[in-house]
Chains A and B, each alone.
Chain A
Amino acid sequence: SAVISQKPSRDICQRGTSLTIQCQVDSQVTMMFWYRQQPGQSLTLIATANQGSEATYESGFVIDKFPISRPNLTFSTLTVSNMSPEDSSIYLCSVNWDQETQYFGPGTRLLVL
């Protein structure tokens, strides 16, 4: 199994600022995923982050708004840029373990005022 930690666990930010969320895994993994969960909604995949290559973004998400780094096999960051209240969500990172079970971090709760 994989143990995933995220920082920060929560934050309150002002409109127009940016926040970088960190995701750390206790094992080396090929693919890491970033999800968004808006209030009362299910999870929506933002992008897939592979080490050594640019992230692959889902429809509706762009690199300028959600830049992602993947410097090694155990770490990734997601930045939420130029935030607006609509960005208030829980942001979760996850990994596929043995290409089967998916493990999730505890999430970062973001409130944009």
Chain B
Amino acid sequence: KQEVTQIPAALSVPEGENLVLNCSFTDSAIYNLQWFRQDPGKGLTSLLLIQSSQREQTSGRLNASLDKSSGRSTLYIAASQPGDSATYLCAVIFAGTYKYIFGTGTRLKVLA
């Protein structure tokens, strides 16, 4: 069964700390992987998209890496800020499909 798992489920860090969120997927044959942010009671905002042929993508303080062979992706957030507090979701399109399978999410709280 194709599944996506995220750890930790929740994370609380002081402002300014660098942090890593993890995403694991059960099948290394993927089309792409996308990281999203969801604020409480809101919809999803796309952060970074990594194609199957790519190893990483960067946007500002965010860096996402992809290691298909180990079935893992990480989202690195540098110099965290209270405004980064949200739930972070990763989603995968497995090869041969067209739909995203979402992970369980990591609830991040950055303390001022």
Contact = CB atoms under 8 A, between A and B. Distances in A.
B43 A92 contact: yes
Contact of A42 (B45, B98, B99, B103): B103
Interface string B85-103: 0000101000000111011
A33 interface: yes
B65 interface: no
Contacts of B91: 43, 102
A106 B46 contact: no
B34 A42 contact: no
Contacts of B51: 100
Contacts, number: 44
A42 B91 CA distance: 10
Interface string A31-58: 1010000000111110010000000000
Nearest to A93: B43
B46 A102 contact: yes
A109 B38 CA distance: 14
A44 B98 CA distance: 14
A92 B99 contact: no
A40 to B, nearest CB: 9
Interface of A: 31, 33, 41-45, 48, 90, 92, 94, 96, 100-107, 109
Interface of B: 32, 34, 36, 41-46, 49, 51, 89, 91, 98-100, 102-105
